[in-house]
Each structure stands twice: as C-alpha cells, then as structure tokens.
Chains A and B, each alone.
Chain A
Amino acid sequence: MTQESYEAMWESLNLDLSAHDGLLGVLGKFYGDIYMSQQGRLKGMEYLDFVLSEVHGLRIKELLEAKAQGRKIIGTFCVFVPEELALALDCVQVGLCAGADAGKEAAETLVPRNTCALIKSFVGFKLARLCPYTESCDLIVGETTCDGKKKAYEAFGELAPMYIMEVPQTKTPAARKLWKEEVLRYMATLESMTGKKVTAEKLAKAIKIVNDRRRVLQRLNKLRATVPTPISGRDVLLINQISFYDDPLRFTGAINALCDQLEERIKKGEGVVPQDTPRLMLSGCPMAVPNWKLPFIIESSGAVIVGEESCIGTRNTRDLVDESGQTLDEMLDALADRYMHIDCACFTPNDERLENIESMASELKVDGVVQYTLMFCQPYAHEGFKVEKRLTDHGTPSMILETDYSMEDVEQLKTRVEAFLETIK
C-alpha cells in the first residue's frame, strides 16, 4: 500500500491516522499470512489482491471522486438494502467495515457488552475513526434484522446520517406489503437526496448490473462444486467480501475472467487441493472483511471450504430480480419479491433456509458442514439446532462453532476442527 499518497485524503476524512496505520499494518500482515501464502492461486486472483491492497486507498479515492461529481455514497450493513435503487439514482453503494476487532472498548460505551462482534465492530470503527467508507457516506442505511442492530443503529444515528428500513420478520402477504412500502419509502428518500427520479429505464439497467454480479458469483459457485475444487474457500470468501466494495461492473468483469481460468483448470483436472481433501461448507453468520479466522483455521487443518451459506455468500447471490418487468411498478414489485426471498434467520418460520442448506450440501458434494455463529447472535444460534438436525437426517455431519473476532480461542477452534475432520475422514 502506498500509504503516504493517501494520507491527506484520510486526514480529510478525519481518520485517526496513527491508529489507521496500525490497522492497515495488521491487515497487510494478516493478508500475507492467510492469502499470499497459498499455493496454486490463479492469475485472476491478482485483481483481488490489488483491490484488497487498495481497499482503503484507491477505492476511497474513487468514492471521493464520485462524490465530487455530485454522486451520493450509500453505506450498508446488510444484504436487504436494495442496491438497484442506489444505482438507478447514480449513487455508489458500499458495505461498511464490520469484520475486525476495532474500537471495542469505545463501542462498549454505546452498546452492551453481550452484543455480537459485528455490531461492536461497526460502532467501534466509527468511534475510533478508522473506516474511510463510513466517513465517506452521505447516507448509511440500517435495517431491522436483529435487536442488536436495531438498537445499535439508534446510537449510531447520533454519529452518522442514518436511515432505517424495516425488514419484516415473517413472509406473510402483510409482511410483503410492508416490505414493498419500505422499498418505496427508501426510494423516495434517495430521490429527494439526489434530486433525481428513478425511471423504468434506469432501474432496468441497475437491475441488470446487480443481477450480473449475482450471476458471476453463481457461476463461480457452480465451478467450485467440481471435485477436486479449483479454488480455495478463503479466496471465494474474499471474492464475496469484495463484491460489497468494488464497482459492480469492474467486479463482474474480473470475476468472469477468473471463472474462465477456473474452467481451464477444471478441464485439465487440476484442483487447488488433492482429490481426497475433505470438503466443508460454512453456514450461518456473515464473515465481513477481514474476518478470515475460521476459514484459515479450517483450510490449514487439511480441509477445503466449498460453500458459504451466508450473507457474504449464497444468501446474497442465490436469487435474481426478475428482469421481465416493463413498467417501473412491475420492476419495483419484482425487486420487493426478490428481497423477500432472502432466508435470513430474522424470519419466523425460516424453513426455506433448511431446504437451501440441504440442497447446497448435496450440490457442492460436501463431507461436512461447519455452522459458524457469532457469539451473542441469537437468530443464528437458535437456528443452529434445527440446521444440525436437518443435516443429521440428511446424513451430513456437522458441527457448531461459536466465536468472535478475537484470536484467543484459535487453538481451541483448531482442535475442534481437526477432531471434526477426524470423525468424517
């Protein structure tokens, strides 16, 4: 990272420069240990190495340039916020920093201690002035997917320009109606903020852009189902993480090129690991960048991850928006419908998720599933029981690991993962 050249920019965003330097140092080392040490990575991954190395640099510069041209920057924490609307109004949407232990002590002055690491992280990043994305945003869109987030946004709203979408908690017709209204209310907010109007033409184009990004990630997931898998789970997680930051068109192009290379590799029968490497799927809570702890532990214990049943994974890419709508109304209906398909643990009941996990486990030919729960994440911790039962009935071994962003339990996690692999070998 060419830090010096960005310092003025970071300073203009009021970041805590020395703490931010420290963060980038740790991130760089972490990335080196976890990513650059991998064997047999494809050339296409250089794009990701570059994007990540410039995650607080060049990409922020681009955002600020977009801002200077009058475009608005929208920050989000959740896959429920329809990016299509932001794009249709020429905004840039980015996912905000929530994957590292940062500013935890400060965060605990605003949120209770028994709050999940992801929430503490985004509050901490803000209080410690470490996230250039958060600081670049014209609007930060929260959502009501769990009590922890809901209440944290109240506190966060005093520090940043916050807007909340109400995500319903059931999938009844009344809930669908509420959600559609929320989509319209959000659209109106963006329209008044940008002074522009969403038109059928612009929305159709935006739907296509976001769908294309989902399609390329679907393609990637199909390719990795091959035995032996052509790409590491760590790399696919990174790709999913970067999909929340990078320009969607550039991202889609780069990942399509990577997929072409993967196809070449598959044709030659080459895998990133030997044929008999145990194949695991991760399921549960999202892993926001740079939360690579568990994937690294798993993949350095002799297994390979071939699926992420997660918001930073298939929950974000499984469903496309129907592109057949002609009028703005039809498109908005299609948009609302697509988001109502998300099988988030905030819904009750949420049986689609069980179906989806089971079919993923079959399609990806997994030997086992690791359910990852962030400590204090009630919705996913609850569903853990059901998922485990469903997988047992399906004949797929599974284990539940509850952890957070700290490194103190790495050895215990390693022992559990190794023992799990011993039981499935």
Chain B
Amino acid sequence: MMVLGIDIGSRSIEVVAMRQGEVVEKRHGPTTFNPVQQINHLLEGLEAQMAVATGYGRNLVQELSLGFPVQTITEIKAHGLGAHHLFPKGRTVLDIGGQDTKALSLLPGGRVGKFEMNDRCAAGTGKFLEYSAQIFQIPIQDFGAYALGGDNPPIINSMCTVFAETEATSLMAQGVKPENIALGLHLAIARRTVNMLNRVGLVLPLIFVGGVAHNPCMCNLLAEQTKTKIDETLFVPKEPDMSGALGAALWAQEIVAETT
C-alpha cells in the first residue's frame, strides 16, 4: 500500500509517494493563491493508505477529506528525516525555502536536536533571491549561474529585500559590474546562513536542501563560508526541494508500520 508525503510551502507544493520503502512517484507545482485546488490537482490518481502533510499549509490538507487519514509534522522534522534518509552521514541540515530558512542539527536516526528559523520576515530566503533576480531581469533559475560570473563582490549589508534592492540599484549607479552585485547579494545570504548554522552548532557533513539549493552560486558560497567541499562534507541532493515531502512520506511509512 502507498503512503504520501505532502509539503505545502509558501511558494511550491511537493508530493512524494512511497511504497515498501521505495519512492514511486514525485510531483510538484506552485502553491498559487488557491493551494487547495493545487493540492487536489497534484494528488489526482494517487490512492494512499495514509498521508503526512508538512509545511505552512500542513493543516490545510487535514481539512480536505481526502479519503485516507492525514497527519501533520513540522517542516523542521520533515527536512530532518528527508535529509537524513538521503545522506545518513549528515549531521546538520540547512533548508532555504521560499519564505524561510531553517538550520537544524541531527541526532542519530535523523531526529532533530536543535533548530533555528528566521524571524517573521523573509529576509535571506528564496523570496529575496527572486526579488533580486527581478532587478537584473533574469529568470530565477538562471540567477545563480549569472552570479557565478562575478569575481569581486561588493559587501551588501542589507538583508531586507526592499533595502537590498535599493543598495543594489545604487551600486549599479556607481558602475559596479552587475555580475558582481549579483554575487554580493548571494554572499549576503550565505553569510547570514552561516550565522544561523553556528547557532545550532555546525557539525559536518552539512546537507543543503530546499529550493535555493538548486542555485549553483549559493552552493559554492555555502561551501566557501562553511569551509566544506561539495560531495565530501557538503551534500546537496539532486532534487533538494523534495526533501521535506520525502521526510513526510518516510514518517507516514513509520506510522503505518507502527500501527500494523
């Protein structure tokens, strides 16, 4: 029988279906202004024994009457489980999603030890990069590669999306190479993230998940700032945005195993 993990984030929804310990299907789509419709759409044709929902919209799924039981866990637990499953040696997890950033330390077995989250504002998250990319009129998917073209990043102090934009525009007016400004914006996030990692006590290897882990510049800068090496002490999954849904599916599997 199949179990589902559903991660309803602020920007995107991911679904992972598992059967007998194997991932059998992955789906994802934007959250949009109508998440309920999106969830229904993404779940079409999936018959499950149970589901575990996570992310900001986790309680929404419980209200949907899907025809199978739905439980919820926080995205912190979900990312811990998902990241640990992908890289059992990992000791610390960094998740940069659409609107928040989380750092968590892993105990043996993938349980969360300590965690930190950004405050109420979305500074230094995917949303920050999305806004920044707009200043350069570059699609968000290409923004990281573009920033890699920089070689001398200016220091950007502001972590507020709006102020960072002001700072970037004034740097442009000073004639700073746009690639360098883009690199500077990435560096600002990386530095902030390292502070958060240090607060939970960064132990290597580090696992980097969440949509922002798709960004090659962020991966490089994170490695640089944490003095890690990609694939040795810094692991980035191929589909970093699926890790929360994977963790939720793994938990669903555990619940089913415990109750049968």
Contact = CB atoms under 8 A, between A and B. Distances in A.
B112 A422 contact: yes
A422 B117 contact: no
B152 interface: no
Contacts of B114: 423
A411 B75 CA distance: 12
A418 interface: yes
B112 A419 contact: yes
Contacts of A422: 73-74, 76-77, 112
B111 A423 contact: yes
B143 interface: no
A273 B257 CA distance: 27
Contact of B74 (A402, A408, A409, A415): A415
B56 interface: yes
A423 B117 contact: no
A172 interface: no
Nearest to B100: A412
A142 to B, nearest CB: 30
A208 interface: no
A415 B56 contact: yes
A412 B10 CA distance: 12
A409 to B, nearest CB: 4
Contact of A423 (B56, B100, B115, B120): B115
Contact of B120 (A409, A418, A419): A409
B113 interface: yes
Interface in B105-126: 111-115, 117, 119-120
A416 interface: yes
Interface string A387-425: 000000000000000100000110110011011001100
B117 A416 contact: yes
B56 A419 contact: no
Contact of A415 (B76, B111, B112, B119): B76
A408 to B, nearest CB: 6
B119 A419 contact: no
A408 B115 CA distance: 21
Contacts of A412: 100, 117, 119-120
Interface string B175-206: 00000000000000000000000000000000
Interface bin, chain A: 10 to 19
Contact of B75 (A402, A409, A415): A415
Nearest to B112: A423
B232 to A, nearest CB: 28
Contacts of A416: 115, 117
A415 B118 CA distance: 12
Contacts of A423: 111-115
Interface string A317-347: 0000000000000000000000000000000
Contacts of B73: 422
A418 B117 CA distance: 13
A408 B120 contact: yes
A28 B77 CA distance: 36
Nearest to B77: A422
Q: Taking each of B56, B74, B100, which has the highest tally of chain A beta carbons within 10 Å of its own beta carbon?
A: B74
A423 B77 CA distance: 8
A419 B113 CA distance: 10
Nearest to A392: B114
Contacts of B117: 412, 415-416
A415 B112 CA distance: 14
Interface string B73-98: 11111000000000000000000000
A396 B2 CA distance: 38
A416 B75 CA distance: 10
Contacts of A418: 74
B102 to A, nearest CB: 9
A27 B120 CA distance: 25
B8 to A, nearest CB: 12
B91 to A, nearest CB: 15
A308 to B, nearest CB: 24
A419 B120 CA distance: 16
Contacts of B111: 423
B173 to A, nearest CB: 29
A411 B115 contact: no
Interface in B38-89: 56, 73-77
Interface of A: 402, 408-409, 411-412, 415-416, 418-419, 422-423
20 contacts: A408-B120, A409-B120, A411-B56, A412-B100, A412-B119, A412-B120, A415-B56, A415-B75, A415-B117, A416-B115, A416-B117, A418-B74, A419-B76, A419-B115, A422-B74, A422-B76, A423-B112, A423-B113, A423-B114, A423-B115
Given A412-B119, A416-B115, 14 more contacts: A408-B120, A409-B119, A415-B74, A415-B75, A415-B76, A419-B76, A419-B77, A419-B115, A422-B73, A422-B77, A422-B112, A423-B111, A423-B112, A423-B113
When A and B form their complex, which 5 residue pairs have the shortest distance between CB atoms, in order from nearest? A419-B76, A419-B74, A409-B120, A422-B77, A418-B74
